[in-house]
Chain A
Amino acid sequence: MTVDTTLAPGAVRKRRSRSATSLTRSSGLGLGIALTWFSLLVLIPLALVVIQSVDGGWATFRDTVTSPQTAAALRLTVTQAFVVTLVNVVMGTLIAWVLVRDQFPGKRLLEVIIDIPFALPTIVAGLVLLSLYGPQSPIGINVANTERSVFLALLFVTLPFVVRTVEPVLQELDLEVEEAAASLGASRFTTLRRILLPALAPAITAGAALSFARGISEYGSLVLLSGNLPMKTEVASVRIMSYIENGNAAAAASVATILLVVALAAIVVLQVLSSVVARRG
Chain B
Amino acid sequence: MNLPRTRLMAAVAIGAIVALLAACAPSSSSGDDAESTPLSLVGFAVPKAGNNVAQAAFAKTDEGQGTSWKESYGASGDQSRAVAGGLKADYVHFSLAPDVTRLVDEGLVADDWDAGPNKGIVTDSVVVLVVREGNPKNIKGWDDLAKPGVGIVTPNPGSSGSARWNILAAWQHIIAEGGSDADAEEYLTKVFDNVKALPGSGRDATTAFQGGTGDVLISYENEAILARQNGEKIDYVVPDDTLKIENPAAVTKDADPKAKAFLDFVLSKEGQEQYVAKGFRPLESVKGVDVGTVEGANDPSDPFPTPKKLFTIDGDLDGWEAVNTKFFDEKDGIITKLIAESGKS
- Within residues 52 to 99 of chain A, which ones have a CB less than 8 A from any CB in chain B? 68-69, 72
Contacts of B344 in A (CB 8 A): 68, 231
- Given A224-B207, A229-B195, A241-B200, decide whether A144 and B340 contact each other with a Cβ distance below 8 A: no
Task: Contact check, A242 vs B204: say whether CB atoms are below 8 A apart.
Answer: no
Residues of A close to B198: CB separation below 8 A:
227-230, 234
Nearest B residue (CB) for A72:
B343
Q: Which residue of B lies closest to A219 (CB)?
A: B200
Taking the complex as formed, is B296 at the interface, i.e. its CB lies under 8 A from any CB of chain A? no
Tell whether A245 is near chain B: CB-to-CB under 8 Å. yes
Distance between B199 CB and nearest chain A CB, rounded to angstroms: 6
Interface string of B192-223 (1 = CB under 8 A from A): 00011111100010011001110000000000
Q: Mark B163-203, 1 if CB is under 8 A from A, else 0.
A: 00000000000000000000000000000000111111000
Q: Which residues of A contact B195 (CB under 8 A)?
A: 229
Contact A227:B197 (CB < 8 A) given known A131-B211, A241-B159: yes
Contact in complex: A238, B330 (CB < 8 Å)? no
**Once A and B bind, how many residue pairs between them come within 8 Å at the CB atom?**
84
Contact B211 A246 (CB under 8 A): no
Q: Does B38 contact A (CB under 8 A)?
A: no
Contacting pair B199 A130 (CB below 8 A): no
Contact with B along A223-252 (1 / 0, CB 8 A): 110011111101000100111111010010
| Interface residue from B159, B161, B207, B208 paired with A227 (Cβ < 8 Å) | B208
B339 contacts partner chain A, Cβ-Cβ < 8 Å: yes
A223 touches B213 (CB 8 A): no
B213 touches A145 (CB 8 A): yes
How many angstroms between the C-alpha atoms of A229 and B339 in the bound complex?
A: 9
**Structural contact, B342 and A135, CB atoms closer than 8 A:** no
Q: Measured between C-beta atoms, what is the minimum distance from A219 to chain B in Å?
A: 9
B272 within 8 A of A: no
Distance from B293 Cβ to chain A, minimum over Cβ atoms (Å): 33
B197 A228 Cβ-Cβ under 8 A: yes
- B213-A135 in contact (CB<8A): yes
Q: Give the most central of A127, A131, A234: most B CB within 10 Å.
A: A234
Contact of B156 among A224, A228, A251 (CB under 8 A): A228
> How long is the Cα–Cα vector from A68 to B340 in the complex, in angstroms?
8
Q: Does residue A136 face the partner (Cβ distance < 8 Å to B)?
A: yes
**B330 / chain A contacts, CB cutoff of 8 Å:** 243, 246, 248, 251
Task: Please measure, in the bound complex, the distance between the C-alpha atom of A145 and the C-alpha atom of B156, giving whole angstroms.
Answer: 14
With both chains docked as a complex, state the minimum distance between the C-beta of A245 and any C-beta of chain B, in angstroms.
5
A134 CB–B CB distance under 8 Å: yes
Considering the chains assembled together, what is the distance between the CA atoms of A223 and B197 in angstroms?
10
How many residues of B are in contact with the other chain, CB < 8 A?
26
Residues of the A chain whose Cβ atoms lie less than 8 Å from the Cβ of B328: 246
B77 interface residue (CB < 8 Å to A): yes
**Hey, which chain A residues are within 8 Å of B159, CB to CB?**
228, 238, 241-242, 245
Q: Does B72 count as interface, using CB distance less than 8 angstroms?
A: no
A130 CB contact (under 8 Å) in B160, B161, B211: B211
Closest A residue to B211 by CB, please name it.
Answer: A130
Contact, CB under 8 Å: B204 / A145: no
Instruction: Report the minimal beta-carbon distance from A277 to chain B, rounded to whole angstroms.
Output: 32
Contact bitstring B96-135, A, C-beta under 8 A = 1, else 0: 0000000000000000000000000000000000000000
Q: Which of A127, A135, A231 contacts B212 (CB 8 A)?
A: A135
User: Across the interface, which residues of A come within 8 angstroms of B197, CB to CB?
Assistant: 144-145, 227-229
Q: Which residues of A contact B199 (CB under 8 A)?
A: 223-224, 227-228
The residues of B that contact A246 with a CB separation of less than 8 Å are: 158, 328, 330
CB pair A231–B343 under 8 Å, yes or no, is yes
Interfacial residues of chain B within 77-107, with CB under 8 A of chain A in the complex? 77, 81
Nearest chain A CB to B162 CB, angstrom units: 10
- When C-beta atoms are compared, the residue in chain A nearest to B81 turns out to be A244
CB-contact partner of A242 in B158, B208, B213, B342, under 8 A: B158
21 contacts between A and B (CB under 8 A): A68-B340, A68-B344, A72-B343, A130-B211, A135-B213, A144-B211, A145-B196, A145-B197, A224-B204, A224-B208, A227-B197, A227-B213, A228-B197, A229-B198, A230-B343, A231-B344, A241-B200, A242-B158, A245-B158, A245-B159, A248-B330
Closest 9 CB pairs of A and B: A231-B343, A135-B212, A227-B197, A230-B343, A242-B159, A242-B158, A136-B212, A228-B198, A241-B159
Residues of A within 8 A of B (CB): 68-69, 72, 127, 130-131, 134-136, 144-145, 223-224, 227-232, 234, 238, 241-246, 248, 251
